[in-house]
A and B are shown apart, each in its own frame.
Chain A
């Protein structure tokens, strides 16, 4: 069981290293979008601190979305998804492995880059820590929820746009709690409450998303 998940993750990482261009696009997108705001708004520390958490989080949402539409589409096109679906393991494990791999490939780098981007918004160290913590809890939720959307829009024409329309509303709670954690630190009320809610969200999606994604895959391959 675990070896199956491990194989899926390893396979995705090997494939990502073979297509470094695609992988870097999402990361650069994140950096550039988040960097354009201080340039466009001007160097007013008060304003920057106020918009910083929101901007970094929205950029992270969009960056996650950018790589999601290819989560299953590539394997669908070359027939590898059929082989994956016929493998003698539960489909939910396949869905979980795919989401985990997506998080490792596109979520983890965001967490590493985010503090540097936070500096552009004049965020104090405590807020940077909250930013990293909220991203660490929130980006797996983005990958897990996104995998459901990617499975549902598989093989549809214009799937990428549809995926964004379908999945962005479900990202709203993550966005609210994520930015709320950093806002809490800036306002002096602490990040614990929001981080706990993010943790709860992560636990819930970990439990339900792989199963829902597996059902969606079955429907899409029908």
Chain B
């Protein structure tokens, strides 16, 4: 089944002629893609080929050496705050504060996006990532995979149109991998967009993710 909202197939996220340099080395150049509502982009490539660099450029954390990223037709630098509201980012480091409990982490994450979060919704989100029992423990005592799950719970609460996920499956057990796939499915079915890097196989239900290979240029 093609993505549900064919009517709205105007590209929402556009990358035009992106190039990235690290030091003297050019990681990739002339990289183009367009992503419409309900579509996912799977970024693949070997270690050090620039997957994370591409994701940082797409999120606006780094500047490309050439080209630009457009969100709804406008360069993301020009609409940074709107883009920030539409974007949820999960990087290598998950941004979970070890001194706060998962519940506090979710509350602050929501508040920093300018959203109020009631306790019921926070508990539901933690329940969804199977962390209901750890809600009041300091995140320091959680395992890497569990902290990753807290970050995923924050992702589901962000109410963001675009998910940019760097290795979302790293450190997760088999059940966690299924969970991420289910979350992505629901996100895409709701008209969301996702850009994901992973070394593992990602089995999405309705939507076949497009694949973009970076590096070795």
Contacts and interface: CB of A to CB of B under 8 A. Distances in A.
The reply to whether chain A is a binding partner of chain B is yes
Interface of A: 3-4, 7-8, 11, 14-15, 18-19, 77-80, 82-90, 221-222
In this complex, the member of A3, A14, A77, A79 whose beta carbon has the largest number of chain B beta carbons within 10 angstroms is A79
Contacts of A89: 81, 84, 114
Contact of B62 (A15, A79, A222): A222
B167 interface: no
B61 A82 contact: yes
B100 A15 contact: yes
Contacts of B83: 88
B97 A15 contact: yes
Interface of A is mostly: helix
A32 to B, nearest CB: 26
A162 to B, nearest CB: 21
A89 B111 CA distance: 12
A77 B94 CA distance: 10
B92 to A, nearest CB: 7
A88 B100 contact: no
Contacts of B91: 79, 82
B104 interface: yes
B109 interface: yes
Nearest to B63: A222
Contacts of A80: 95-97
24 contacts: A7-B111, A11-B108, A11-B112, A15-B97, A15-B100, A18-B99, A18-B138, A19-B99, A78-B93, A78-B97, A79-B93, A80-B97, A82-B93, A83-B95, A84-B112, A86-B61, A86-B89, A87-B112, A88-B113, A88-B114, A89-B84, A89-B114, A221-B62, A222-B63
Contacts of B104: 14
A67 B153 CA distance: 32
A7 B59 CA distance: 23
Contacts of B98: 78
Interface of B is mostly: loop
Given A88-B81, A88-B82, A221-B62, A83 B111 contact: no
Given A88-B83, A89-B114, A222-B63, 6 more contacts: A4-B114, A8-B112, A80-B96, A87-B112, A88-B84, A88-B113
Contacts of A7: 108, 111-112
Contacts, number: 73
A87 B93 contact: no
Contact of A86 (B87, B93, B99, B111): B87
Nearest to B116: A3
A61 to B, nearest CB: 28
A14 B108 CA distance: 11
B191 interface: no
Contact of B112 (A15, A19, A83): A83
B124 interface: no
Contacts of B100: 14-15, 18
A180 to B, nearest CB: 40
Contacts of B89: 82-83, 86
A113 B22 CA distance: 49
A19 B100 CA distance: 11
B63 to A, nearest CB: 7
A65 B111 CA distance: 29
B72 interface: no
Interface in B66-107: 80-85, 87, 89, 91-100, 104
B99 A15 contact: yes
B135 to A, nearest CB: 16
Interface in B50-70: 59-63
